[in-house]
Amino acid sequence: MNAVLVMIAQRLALGVLTLFVVSVVIFGATELLPGDLASALLGQAATPETLAALRTQLGLNDPAPVRYWNWATGVLQGDFGVSLATRRPIADMLSARLGNTIFLALYAAAIAVPLSLVLGVLAALWRNSLFDRVANAGALSAISFPEFFVAYILIFLLSQSGFFPSLVRLTPDMELSDKLYVTFLPALTLTLVVTAHMMRMTRAAIINLLASPYIEMARLKGLSPLRIVLRHALPNALAPIINVIAINLAYLITGVVVVEVVFVYPGLGQLMVDSVAKRDIAVVQAIALIFASAYVLLNLTADVLSTLTNPRLMRRK
């Protein structure tokens, strides 16, 4: 038990260090953007006096380390600052959008994870069969197509025919069934993108274990192939499967920008694109930090779970 707690503490410390480095990179990248932020906000009609006053108000005259410290300490207290475009607190702008993005990611994950596991197990069970070849061909095709192409194909097939709406309009009082209906196309787009990777990893992990001696012993005992895969191969393949699922879940949260823009989905990705167009740097920094935090947290969770499912990973060589 102590070894597990030490391992979790080490992973958490590494995650905090990673987030610190990422925050520095995000802040530095926005600082390197060309142009003057005050001039971009005030436009061509700005006077030197108004430019100087706005630069003082935004803290642009302070050194970069001071501005980073003020921004980082505010983020740790839950204060992301004020939007430069709308003058609204950024935390209020992010609250509803974050919930919509998480809902879309969970919706897609609820479809993609069981589907990919079933397809991966069946493809490994019927290796080199027609089903295996068709599943692999479909997976490679789904991986090869960019997200916006998949989205527009689904809009052409399922929206133009009147089955599902092409634009997502969410209201606070919307029923869950209606919400699932209007967000089906963006969720299906994300599902098609991530299912292929998880399915192929599941298939590869199980096929690799099927050559193990204990699997041969199970076959000699007369166990059915399905029982061998489900009872003996799949539990020992959980570590790589958990890792690939966590990576794809992180992608579902951080990689929704293109999908949200195509379907005009009111999430963080759409807000980020709008903020970039308006040069609202504070909002862009906050969303980028949220995406990075979600990615790091999910990868740390996968690292801990994969280690717990395979105790051999805790032994030092």
CB 38 within 8 A of CB 46: yes
Q: What is the mean pLDDT of residues 215-232?
A: 76
DSSP H helix total and E strand total for the chain: 16, 0
Do the Cβ atoms of 297 and 291 come closer than 8 Å?
no
**pTM to 2 decimal places:** 0.79
Q: What is the mean pLDDT of residues 30-43?
A: 66
Among 1.10.3720.10, 3.40.1390.20, 1.10.490.10, 3.20.20.150, what is the CATH number of 99-279? 1.10.3720.10
Q: Which residue has the tokens 């299906």?
A: 188
Q: What is the mean pLDDT of residues 102-124?
A: 87
Q: Stretch 207-223: mean pLDDT, rounded?
A: 77
Does residue 86 carry a pLDDT above 80? no
Q: In whole angstroms, give the CA distance from residue 200 to residue 98.
A: 30
| Long-range residue pairs from 28-37, CB within 8 A, at least 24 positions apart, any chain | 28/64, 30/281, 30/284, 30/285, 31/64, 33/281, 37/84, 37/279, 37/281
| Average of per-residue pLDDT across 140-160 | 83
The domain segmentation of the chain, as residue ranges, is 99-279
